[in-house]
């Protein structure tokens, strides 16, 4: 191989690797992005079935029902609309009625949100930022102080 050929081979390989990495990132971004939605968003624009989303809102007071085998169902509300959620698993330590929650999963054809993860952070006063903003949009947010904490 001549010097030029060597150089071309190297640059060619680098180009192929970088291009495929770039393509992979774009493809993954397109495919695996999960959008955050509030119950109102879901009520207004029905999602294609099987579309993964993050659902955020407040856990409605008195809506948590536990059944055996660690299954739990509750309703998530943003004070305008409400959606039922089912989840099988251990709820995070800070999961409480009346508090903010973010869940990830899909909406079933029956309109029930089937969550495969329920999130909470290590902070006592934590209201997920998405939830806080969604609630603000609905005009139900008074806890300006809590958000600053």
Partner 1 sequence: MIVEFGHYALVLAFALSLVQSVVPLWGALARDDRLMAVAAPVSVTTFIMVLLSFAVLTNAYLTADFSVLNVLENSHSAKPLVYKFTGVWGNHEGSMLLWVLILVFFGALVGFFGGNLPKDLRAATLAVQGWISAGFILFLLATSNPFARVANPPLEGADLNPILQDIGLAIHPPLLYVGYVGFSITFSFAVAALILGRTDAAWARWVRPWTLLAWSFLTLGIAMGSYWAYYELGWGGWWFWDPVENASLMPWLAGTALLHSAIVMERREALKIWTILLAIFTFSLSLLGTFLVRSGVLTSVHAFATDPTRGVFILALLCFFIGGSLALYAWRAPALKQGGLFAPISREGALVLNNLFLTSACAAVFVGTLYPLFLDAVTGEKISVGAPFFNLTFGPLMVPLLIAVPFGPVLSWKRGDLLAASQRLYAAFGLAILMTVFTFWLWGMDMVLAPLGVGLAVWVMAGAVAEILTRVKILEIGPSRAFSRLIGLPGSAWGTSMAHFGVGVTVLGIVTASAFQEERIATVRPGDVVELSGYQLTFDGAAPRRGPNFTEEVGHFTIRQGGIFVAELDPSKRVYTARQMPTTEAAIHTTGFSQLYLSLGESRGDGAVDVRVYFKPLITLIWIGCVIMALGGAVSIADRRLRVGAPKPARKRKSAAPAPAE
* All residues at 6 or more sequence positions from 8 whose CB lies less than 8 Å from its CB, including other chains: none
How far is Cα 15 from Cα 30, in angstroms, rounded to an integer?
22
Give me the residues paired with residue 107 across strands: 113
What is the residue whose two structure tokens read 């698993």?
Answer: 89
Give me the residues paired with residue 144 across strands: none
The residue within the footprint of partner 1, chosen from 61, 62, 66, 98 (CB under 8 A), is 66
Selected range binding partner 1 among 27-35, 42-50, 77-85, 106-114, rule: CB under 8 A: 27-35
Task: Give the x/- contact pattern for partner 1 in 70-89, rule: CB under 8 A.
Answer: x-----------------xx
Residues of this chain that interact with partner 1 (CB under 8 A) are 1, 3, 6, 9-10, 13-14, 17-18, 21, 24-25, 27-29, 31-36, 54, 66, 68-70, 88-91, 93-94, 104, 121-122, 124, 129-130, 133, 148
């Amino acid at each position: 191989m001549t010097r030029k050929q060597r150089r071309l081979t190297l640059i060619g390989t680098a180009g192929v690797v970088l291009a495929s990495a770039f393509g992979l990132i774009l493809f993954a971004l397109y495919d695996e992005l999960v959008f955050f939605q509030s119950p109102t968003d879901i009520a207004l624009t029905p999602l294609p079935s099987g579309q993964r989303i993050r659902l955020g809102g407040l856990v409605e007071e008195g809506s948590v029902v536990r059944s055996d085998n660690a299954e739990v169902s509750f309703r998530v509300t943003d004070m305008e609309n409400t959606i039922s959620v089912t989840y099988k698993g251990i709820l995070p330590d800070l999961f409480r009625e009346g508090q903010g929650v973010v869940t990830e999963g899909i909406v079933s054809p029956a309109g029930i949100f089937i969550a495969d993860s329920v999130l909470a952070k290590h902070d006592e006063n934590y209201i997920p930022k998405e939830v806080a903003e969604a609630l603000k949009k609905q005009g139900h947010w008074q806890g300006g102080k809590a958000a600053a904490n």
